[in-house]
Amino acid sequence: MPRIISVIAQKGGVGKTTSTIHIATALANMGFKTLIIDWDTSQGNSTYSTIGHLDSKNQKGICHIIANGGTLSEVLCKTKTPNLFIIPSEVTDSRGNAYSIESTLTQLGIEGYTLLKELISENDEIQDFQFVLIDNTPKLGIETVSSLIASDYFITPVQMTDFSLGSIGQTISTALKVKKGHNKDLEALGIFVSSSDNRINKSKEAIVELGEYCKKSGIHLFDSIIPIASKFAFLPRGQQTIFDVTKPSERGHKEYLKLTKEMLSRMIALEKASAASAKVTTKGAEV
């Protein structure tokens, strides 16, 4: 059974897709069978970053499955990275019209919220993966909520800018509402700095503020800090990652690897704690 991780942030352009691609690639390079679901269907940026644009006439993606039915296996694609696969988004249909997953899910009513969870959990091929990362849209609507309902964990990238910092509260409170109302097993894996310019004092101060916020609200803040680097901008066109174009000693490369290892350790720690508390509860029930 895979561990399913939603990458969410209410703010646009803060590194959801870039971190999805880099964490998923790092996991795949460590030997874990890893799947990306491109659930930001109107942009399809994870798809472009791994396999290029889908030829909408021939290659179907998740939008087709949501609109017409079918299984995720029908659209599962290999990437050039061994162990890394993607459920792509085709963005437009064969006539070139944009899909609106949001309205399709909304029309389904309550089933729209659980559709992604069902598509994942009913699929044996997907159950064979060790990790699933879901790249989300910069909105906290039905698409993101359905991703959180399907997930075991969520992570939130934050840029060191006032707008990004200012939106964290809304992102976290939405996820915690989903946990409370719809998915009690959902855990906040943590927040991480997805882009920071450490030559600027304000960035360093903002990281300290972020640390204080996380401490106060009980949300884990990862130690790894992804540096701002112009190299990230043109990686998608060649379906490359920072791991392809820099040495392991370069900061972006090093920090994305470190972040992935931190995430793995934190998942193991959370799962150990949860197993221990289940044991105590069972013992209590026996008494």
Ligand X SMILES: Nc1ncnc2c1ncn2[C@@H]1O[C@H](COP(=O)(O)OP(=O)(O)OP(=O)(O)O)[C@@H](O)[C@H]1O
Rule CB under 6 A: which residues touch ligand X?
9, 12-18, 40, 43, 45, 138, 194-195, 226, 228-229, 232-233
Residue 229: CB minimum distance to Mg ion, A: 17
Instruction: Work out the end-to-end distance of the chain between its first and last CA atoms, rounded to an integer number of angstroms.
Output: 32
Q: How far is Cα 35 from Cα 85, in angstroms, rounded to an integer?
A: 5
Query: Toward ligand X, which CB reaches closer, 70 or 227?
Result: 227
Task: Give me the sheet containing 221-227, strands edge to edge.
Answer: 77-78, 84-87, 34-38, 131-135, 3-7, 153-159, 187-196, 221-227
Residue found under tokens 């969870």:
117
Cα Rg of the chain (Å, integer):
19
Q: How far is Cα 285 from Cα 287, in angstroms, rounded to an integer?
A: 5
Choose one: 41-49, 87-95, 145-153, 165-173; the region binding Mg ion (CB under 5 A).
Answer: 41-49
Amino acid at 14: V
Query: Toward ligand X, which CB reaches closer, 41 or 194?
Result: 194
* 13 binding partner (options ligand X, Mg ion, none; Cβ < 5 to 8 Å by kind): ligand X
User: Could you tell me which of 118, 100, 98 has the C-alpha nearest to residue 110?
Assistant: 118
Residue 119: CB minimum distance to Mg ion, A: 21
Residue 107: CB minimum distance to Mg ion, A: 25
Residue 216: CB minimum distance to ligand X, A: 25
Q: Is 16 a residue that touches Mg ion (CB under 5 A)? A: yes
* 70 binding partner (options ligand X, Mg ion, none; Cβ < 5 to 8 Å by kind): none
Q: How far is Cα 148 from Cα 7, in angstroms, rounded to an integer?
A: 9
Residue 117: CB minimum distance to ligand X, A: 22
Q: Is 17 a residue that touches Mg ion (CB under 5 A)? A: yes
Choose one: 44-52, 64-72, 84-92, 181-189; the region binding Mg ion (CB under 5 A).
Answer: 44-52
Query: C-alpha 136: how far from its chain's center?
Result: 7
Enumerate binding residues for Mg ion (CB under 5 A). Answer: 16-17, 40, 45
